[in-house]
Structure 1
Amino acid sequence: MQWSPEMRTGVRAAIASVAALAVLGPLGWFWFDSLVPGTYDMAAMGVADHGGGDPSGHRHTGGLSVADLRGPSGRPDVEVTLTADRRDGRYTLNGSSPGPEIRAERGDLIQVTLINGSVPDGVTLHWHGVDVPNGEDGVAGLTQDAAGTGERHVYRFVAADAGTYWYHSHQVSHEQVRNGLFGALVITPGPMTGDPVIAVHTYDGRRTINGVPGVSARPVTRARVINTDAGPIRVWATVPYRVVAVDGRDLVSPPVVTGRAVLVTAGGRVDLELTAPGRVEAGGGAALGPGAGTAEPRELVDLLGYGSPAPLGFDPGTAARVFDYRIGRRLGFLDGAPGMWWTVNGRLFPDVPMFMVRTGDVVRMTIANDSGEVHPMHLHGHHAVVLSRNGVAATGSPWWVDSLDVADGDSYEIAFVADNPGIWADHCHNLDHVPEGLVAHLAYAGVSTPYRVGGRAGNVPE
């Protein structure tokens, strides 16, 4: 058979069409499969991971509602009103950034009324490191609706654990926190003390302490350092010092440190006690205290072996749930957009794990990072103890964390007791990474949420 030029052209076009369909068809499916609804139930997203435990009864309808998991009634011991505003891209609370420092004594009932003065995207407050009832956690679309302009929201919780904490927006948080919507929260074990807070934050490329660049000359003997930035920082003192607390939990028998700095992960806190009045350096030319500064030490305090062992109060060896949280990165689609996205256990958002537990479960989790970047991992509503790093067991004081710096190539094993029912975010606190997919959740059996991402309230937790 003699093929005419027209026939040859037609065959080539048909082959090209088939080849294009073979390539574009799967790409089209992956694109379609990546789309996230405009409104959705965060608790229904992802893939249920039971961690080897009993999967029965795990549903998010009926049972206990997040809206019912609230703080107690009664007359508050500490009552604060915070008005959030946005001016020229900068966010303030009561006209300042950071917002007002809140101080309370252990056992106090705290009530904070948040008023949205002029934040067009809405606003919430998350009590970072404070294990509040789930309905007070301040995550838009999961534990509440964002407060729109002119609206207010009241938070109530008991200051159960003394320590250094902070608060920040969890609505469009990657923008609002970076641009100033945060403040410090200090809970003391007894009568108020004047231990200074060192809230480290970078505004427009300039590192500040409590919003002030450069050096403030106030003498320091104990300092509460809060890293409100997206990445880790190093802090040190010009005199010998002890690391007496991490993430609001005291360390046991902390030895004196000389010639070393402490790494503070994004969202994390450390309390430093100086052996004599001195100066605390936070890098980038930011410091608090008199006198001349010192060069940044090369070595770090290794909290894995710092201080003395002590009972944990539970046995990690009896874990009912064992989870993996493996962080990676790969090419794909996220909500229809092509790019290099973060993965959890090899999956792209929204097909990431929903870690399922029951109240009272002992939980072990391995957090491993092979993504090429450091990730400060933050679990809401719980404190976990570090058991090991890269297979090396912890030997020092129990190292309790709510924010853990997981460097590229590192693997940590942590453990905690599931003792705070709810649906809890478990995400990277480099907040730019969250809308890029680095978020999962810890969910208790039988707990549901009436709130939705998107929707009338425009909830955007990331």
Structure 2
Amino acid sequence: MRAAVAVVAALAVLGLVGCFWYASLVPGTYDMAAMGYADYGGGTPVEHDHTAGMSVADLKGPSGTPDVAVTLTAREEGAKYTLNGTTPGPEIRAEQGQLIQVTLVNESVPDGVTLHWHGVDVPNGEDGVAGITQDAVPRGRSFVYRFVARAAGTYWYHSHQVSHEQVKNGLFGALVITPRGSRTADQVALVHTYEGKRTVNGVPGTSGMSSTHLRVINTDAGPIRIWVSGTTFQVAAIDGHDVNEPPSVADRAVLVTAGARVDLRLAGPGRVDVGGGAAVTATGISPVPLPAETVDFLAYGKNAPLGFDPSRADRDFRYDIGRRFGFLDGRPGMWWTVNGHLFPDVPMFMVRTGDVVRMTLHNGSGEVHPMHLHGHHVVVLSRNGVAAGGSPWWVDSLDVNDGETYEIAFVADNPGIWADHCHNLEHVPEGLVVHLAYAGVRSSFQVGGPTGNTPE
């Protein structure tokens, strides 16, 4: 009798495990816009018909003769990928208001390739996310991106097809948009780690400094701390947005999260260390150790109007990051969760054009997560209950440490279907991704299947 009971209990447990396993399976081909469940943020429900409405393929940049035209040819070269034979790829520069056209040619990348314009609020059809805004470009084919350089600032571009591998191994580059008519000299310091060696613009060790305006771009999977020796400095811009009346700083580090950018203005010749033995320096400047304190962007600079009222939000979402054991596409393991759910049963944040959106980000997962919303910049309202008091802190990539809670806000003014994910790109195929979807917009593309679209 006891043996029979034990057998029945074992079968019941196995049956339950089998149910969880089966429920976790992801179809071989699927519409990302149809995954998960609709979350209306406490606002009026909106239509969520992923088969009707405007296609993201129609949300494109303008026609006309481009002011800046670039061709980027992607190649697989041994263990690395290159664009026009180099990694990082060529630096793209434009003036504010110019029309940019980039033709991406895939010469030899076997999994296909795309280009995402990180931090640039492009039309959704130009966002470069395989399976959501386009098909990955297969070998021997090309794709043309067109968008207006509306906001001056420091940005970058990278593949969004198998991105946790392709970005790590070289498919990225800098994009700089300067103010119209500006002749101010600046220098890009694009930070990336190849096979354990941290580099600046692809070169390990120390690079020369040619300008006191330094645009630092973190293309790695985790946050870095940078610091200045030999002079004071200002943090002039964060993620492409100018800081209002930035004060001079000394003996402070600056945190640059994965995917983020900061513009530093040095008061004179100096040295900027980016960690890992890499630095940009003027001749004769001796390094100082990493300072113990870090510039707090929550209180840095002077307050200024936001241009909208976050207290009158139409949607109020929660993005609660956790981790637990379960099955993801049939694989058992410890996976990231969003609001307690494992992918693909995660929220689709639904909005209407013009909505004022608030979102609470909480990280209780045990690791830091650099969170990146495509197509929008958000303003930080508070951290751990402390209200922002400095310059409006506009970001597209936000470092959320374990145990931290941020309140952010933005206006939903860029229709489309937008990824909202961790920019430690290894975490995305482990389930840390949701989407922001506008009512009346559908995707024309599928993840998986014959196209091989693998956005993360």
TMscore range, shorter length? over 0.9
1:82 to 62, 65, 72: 72
Name the SS for the 1:300 alignment partner. coil
Offset at residue 61 of structure 1 (A): 2.3
Query: For each residue in 1:321-346, what CA deviation from the matched residue of structure 2 results, as whole angstroms up to 9, or x when unmatched?
Result: 00000000000000000000000000
Pair 1:271 & 2:263 matched: yes
**Residue ranges of structure 2 left out of the alignment (5+ in a row):** none
Query: For each residue in 1:352-405, what CA deviation from the matched residue of structure 2 results, as whole angstroms up to 9, or x when unmatched?
Result: 010000000000000000000000000000000000000000000000000000
Q: Which has the larger radius of gyration?
A: 1
Q: Show the counterpart of 2:199.
A: 208
- Which residue type is aligned with residue 200 of structure 2? I
Q: Show the counterpart of 1:5.
A: none
- Cα distance in 1, alignment partners of residues 264 and 209 from structure 2: 15
Q: RMSD of the alignment, in Å?
A: 0.9
2:171 to 163, 181, 206: 181
- Which residue type is aligned with residue 238 of structure 2? V
Q: Show the counterpart of 1:451.
A: 445
- Which residue type is aligned with residue 237 of structure 1? V
| 8 A Cα contact 1:219 1:278, kept in partner | no
Equivalences, count: 452
| 8 A Cα contact 1:220 1:289, kept in partner | no
- Cα distance in 1, alignment partners of residues 256 and 209 from structure 2: 22
TM-score, length of structure 1 as denominator length: 0.97
Q: Show the counterpart of 2:308.
A: 314
Offset at residue 104 of structure 1 (A): 0.2
Q: Show the counterpart of 2:386.
A: 392
Name the SS for the 1:299 alignment partner. coil
1:371 to 340, 346, 365: 365
- Cα distance in 2, alignment partners of residues 243 and 412 from structure 1: 21
Structure 1 runs of 4+ off > 4 angstroms?
none
| 8 A Cα contact 2:258 2:423, kept in partner | yes
| 8 A Cα contact 1:220 1:279, kept in partner | no
Name which of structure 1's ranges 95-104 and 232-241 shifts more when overlaid on structure 2: 232-241
Query: For each residue in 1:37-89, what CA deviation from the matched residue of structure 2 results, as whole angstroms up to 9, or x when unmatched?
Result: 00000000011100011114232222211000000000000000000011112
Q: Show the counterpart of 2:133.
A: 143
- Which residue type is aligned with residue 214 of structure 2? A
Offset at residue 12 of structure 1 (A): 5.1
| 8 A Cα contact 1:85 1:117, kept in partner | yes
Offset at residue 13 of structure 1 (A): 4.8
- Which residue type is aligned with residue 212 of structure 1? V
- Which residue type is aligned with residue 307 of structure 2? G
- Which residue type is aligned with residue 304 of structure 1? L
Pair 1:341 & 2:335 matched: yes
- Cα distance in 2, alignment partners of residues 461 and 101 from structure 1: 24
Q: Show the counterpart of 2:215.
A: 224
- Which residue type is aligned with residue 62 of structure 1? A
1:408 to 402, 413, 423: 402
- Cα distance in 1, alignment partners of residues 150 and 93 from structure 2: 13
Pair 1:359 & 2:349 matched: no
- Which residue type is aligned with residue 414 of structure 2? N
- Which residue type is aligned with residue 110 of structure 2? P
- Cα distance in 1, alignment partners of residues 250 and 241 from structure 2: 22
- Which residue type is aligned with residue 344 of structure 2? P
| 8 A Cα contact 2:46 2:351, kept in partner | no
The share of aligned pairs that are identical, in percent, is 73
Query: For each residue in 1:209-266, what CA deviation from the matched residue of structure 2 results, as whole angstroms up to 9, or x when unmatched?
Result: 0000000123431100000000000111111000000000000000000000100000
- Correspondences of 1:32-431 after superposition (within 5 Å): 32-191=22-181, 193-238=184-229, 239-290=231-282, 291-431=285-425
- Cα distance in 2, alignment partners of residues 440 and 140 from structure 1: 15
- Which residue type is aligned with residue 324 of structure 2? R
- Which residue type is aligned with residue 123 of structure 1? V
Name the SS for the 2:341 alignment partner. coil
| 8 A Cα contact 1:219 1:277, kept in partner | no
Offset at residue 193 of structure 1 (A): 4.3
| 8 A Cα contact 1:169 1:182, kept in partner | yes
Name the SS for the 1:220 alignment partner. coil
Q: Show the counterpart of 1:8.
A: none
Name the SS for the 2:448 alignment partner. coil
- Cα distance in 2, alignment partners of residues 63 and 197 from structure 1: 41
- Cα distance in 2, alignment partners of residues 154 and 219 from structure 1: 33
Q: Show the counterpart of 1:4.
A: none
- Cα distance in 1, alignment partners of residues 61 and 207 from structure 2: 38
